Amino acid sequence: MAAIHQVKFWDKVADRYAARPIKDPAAFEAMLADAAGRLRPTDHVLEIGCGTGSAAIRLAPHAAEWIATDFSAEMLRIARAKPAPANLRFVLADAERAFDGGPFDAICAFQVLHLVGDLPGTLAQIRAHLKPGGLLISKTWCFADMSLKLRALFFVLRSIGLFPRAQALTKPALRQTLRDAGFEIADERVFGDNPHGPYIVARRPGAT
């Protein structure tokens, strides 16, 4: 279950987060286009850590059903106020308990896996609630690959409550953790100029 301090952090910053412009719109659009191309009109999709719903609203039309979850009620308040497709449903749930309605054809986790407290446990849950052949579509910050200067800045921001707690992952460690959880890595890309946020598509082995 998400720690209370994490929920309070995201509830507190929700309006500021929603007002912040996307830093690299072209990279965001490219990521959405790739994710959309991997979905089928019959797919039932779960998104964990949907935030204010920007990706869910754009991607839901490419699936039969899209369940977008987040543990922050304030984030979901903002998401639910936006025009959205009829097949999109926002649900209050943390990343460890977001799997009602499975198994799913695909599970999306954009900018969230580095924030969970138990990454192996969360990945095990994701795999268990994917159909054989199902996809985990993710984008994850790998803070341990960043420069010492940036890591020091994030540490200072976290100490004064302006940055969330996050795991210090490297890309090799992230790949290995996915493999250890029973996934096959189907694709890995970087959209935009920042190499520290890899977009990884992983597959649960088995027939589709």
Residue 193 clears pLDDT 50, i.e. is over it: yes
Architecture per CATH, domain 4-203, reads as 3-Layer(aba) Sandwich (3.40)
pTM of the model: 0.88
**pLDDT of 71-99, one tens digit each?**
999 999 999 999 999 999 999 987 667 88
Q: What is the mean pLDDT of residues 125-132?
A: 96
Between residues 147 and 20, the one the model is more confident about: 20
pLDDT of residue 164: 52
Query: Per-residue pLDDT tens for 32-41?
Result: 999 999 999 9
Residue 145 dihedral angles phi and psi, to the nearest 5°: -85, -10
Each domain of the chain, given as residue ranges in start order, spans 4-203
Task: Give the residue with greater pLDDT, 36 vs 101.
Answer: 36
Please report the pLDDT score of residue 4 as a whole number: 47
